[in-house]
Every structure is written in C-alpha cells, then in structure tokens.
Amino acid sequence: MSYVLKRIGQSILTVFVVVSASFGLVRLLPGGPLDYLRAQAIQQGGSDMTMAEINQRIAAQTNIAVDEPIYVQYVEYMAAIVQGDFGQSIWYEQPVTSVIGPAIPWTVFLTASALFLAFTVGVSLGAIMAYKEGSRFDVTSTGIGLVLNSTPGYVVGLLLVAFLGYRYELFPTGGRYASELSPGFNVPFLASVLQHGAMPIASMAVVGFGGWALSMRGNSIRVLGEDYLRVARLRGLSTRRIALRYVARNAILPMYTGLMIAIGTVFGGAVIIENIFAYPGVGFYLIQAINARDYPLMMGGFILITVAMVIGITIADLTYGILDPRAKGGASRESY
C-alpha cells in the first residue's frame, strides 16, 4: 500500500514540476497574441485596416492588458488549476475548458482507433512472423515493419491528403463530419465521422503497427525457445492452446508498459496529424495556441497531455504486479 501511495505521490510531483516548467517556458516565447494578429493580417491580408491602424489597435489593446509580475501570475495560476480553473483563452475569448473540452472526444477517437488498429494488427502479424521465423514472409515483414516504424506519421499523412484527398477525392480533407448531417447515433452521421477520421487514423496506424509487430515477434521467438514450451509440447497440448495460452500471453506481457505509455499519448499523439488534416482536436488547438501565444490555452493543452501520460505510466506501474506476480511489491524486490 505504501508503494501505491509513494507512486501516486511521485506522479503528482511529476505533474507539478512539468506544469511549473511549462509555465516558465511558455512565457519565454517571444511575441504575444497581438503580434500574431499583425502577422496574420499581413500574411492573409483582408484586414480592412491600414498598416498604421493595425499598429494603433495593437498599441491600444496592449495598454488595456497590464500584466502582473510573472511570479504573481504563477501563484495565481497554480492556485486556479488546483480548483479546476484553467483560465480564459486569449485568442478565443472563452474558458480554456470550453475550447479544449469539446475537442477531447475527437482526439481520443483518432488516437484510440489508431492505437487499437496498430496494436491488434501489429501483435497478430508479429506472432505469425515469429512462427514463420526465417521465412520469406518473416524477412519481408520485418523489413516493412522497420521502414514503417521509422517513418514519421506526418509523411504518410501528407501523402494521403495529397493523393486520396485532393487528387482522387476519395476522402474529405478536413473537418470532423459532413456539414449537412446533425450529430447523433444514426448511420449517415457515424459513417461520415469514420470517413473524416479514416485518413488521420490511417496515418498513425500505418506507422504504428510495425513497432508492435517487431516487439511481438522478438518476444514470441524468445518464449518459443523456453523450456516450459517444450514441456507443453511434450504434454501433447494442442498447438492452438500453446499459441494462445503459453506464447501469446507471455509475449504480450512485456509490451504492457509500452501499451500503457501509448495510451498515455492519446492527447499528445495527434498534434501534427490533426493540423495536416485540419481536424479540430486537442493538438490542433495546441498548435493554434502556440502560434497565437495564447498562454492559458497552451498550458491547458500541455497539462492535459502531461496528466494523461503520467496516469498511463502510473497505472502501468501499479497494475503490472497484478498481471505479473513476479513484479509485485514494486521496488521492494527485484522487478521483472
């Protein structure tokens, strides 16, 4: 029990340190929201104001927002987030939770679907590769897995959006669902959601499954060489029983921590992908906040990503002992 408390305490400390460091670091970013406004006006045009007027407005609005010293801001901010108040987005003029909140389910939809696909496909493929170790299938799959595992998701994303999106017009290039549909549990809406999510999910899944397949392959080959497997075979157990009960379970076990960490990246894993596909999720607003120097919104995004990651790792630590009794007791004995 004391291990659990200690581990949770460590997690809270981690979050505290990361939030504090982020708070300081984002303030070091040069420029402010109004400079972004100016850059945007020049870049996009259509501001309907002369250059002089844009600058006058920036000067007028800067005078309105008189900043407090940074340590005062820090104390006030930390006190507020403990109470669940993440502040007001400067760019969107509404509470940070109102900006990020509605985006969370969409990001989770993308990342969780991609992770599920990558994990199931990867593990299945890895197992088959292990059984066919040394075959042409194994060699080819290992090569493909290595290449895909080394490819950044955004490269796949850019290719997909260029070809399947714009050239062949098979999938929509932005948004969460078709504008004509109203959200609800009906087939056209759900189909549209899947259609809009297909390319972002594919971008992440395609580069993700290779890593899982290679891990699974390695673990399975190691397990296949264990003595207890030879015993199992000698006992005359069915191949299916050996594959699922003996090999698969023991090969997946070391991947549990990796899986929990991957689950921890649900919010932070799609930042670039969401921007490529103009898919307004958490990562999309995080980039927007960084560009616009929207400090409260940036912090909201960072905290969400940090907390998810810390929770994922903490759960992995705390539950590993349940899955693998050898690791029970945490640091009190040699861990697996």
Binding site for another protein (CB under 8 A): 29-33, 35-53, 55-57, 59-61, 63-64, 91-94, 162, 165-167, 169, 172-179, 278-280, 291-293
In contact, 11 and 314? CB cutoff 8 Å: yes
Whichever of 176 and 217 has its CB closer to another protein, that residue is 176
According to the 3-state scheme, what is the secondary structure of 255-319?
A: HHHHHHHHHHCCCCCCHHHHHHCCCCCHHHHHHHHHHHCCHHHHHHHHHHHHHHHHHHHHHHHHH
Long-range CB pairs of 180-183, under 8 A, 24+ apart, other chains included: none
Whole-number Å distance between alpha carbons of 21 and 27: 10
Whichever of 291 and 319 has its CB closer to another protein, that residue is 291
Closest alpha carbon to 295 in 36, 60, 61: 36
> What is the nearest approach in angstroms of another protein to the Cβ of residue 322?
41
In 32-90, which residue ranges form alpha helices assigned H by DSSP?
33-44, 51-64, 70-82
Whichever of 13 and 42 has its CB closer to another protein, that residue is 42
> What is the nearest approach in angstroms of another protein to the Cβ of residue 272?
13
> What is the nearest approach in angstroms of another protein to the Cβ of residue 136?
40
> What is the nearest approach in angstroms of another protein to the Cβ of residue 70?
17
Whichever of 175 and 188 has its CB closer to another protein, that residue is 175
Q: Token digits for 71?
A: 């340590």
Q: Token digits for 77?
A: 């901010």
Whichever of 2 and 43 has its CB closer to another protein, that residue is 43
Report CA torsion sign: 196, 198, 202, 205.
positive
Whole-Å CA distances, 124 to 92, 184, 207, 233: 45, 34, 16, 22
> What is the nearest approach in angstroms of another protein to the Cβ of residue 334?
48
In contact, 131 and 229? CB cutoff 8 Å: no
> What is the nearest approach in angstroms of another protein to the Cβ of residue 187?
19
> What is the nearest approach in angstroms of another protein to the Cβ of residue 59?
6
Whole-number Å distance between alpha carbons of 110 and 1: 36
Whichever of 40 and 97 has its CB closer to another protein, that residue is 40
Whichever of 32 and 268 has its CB closer to another protein, that residue is 32
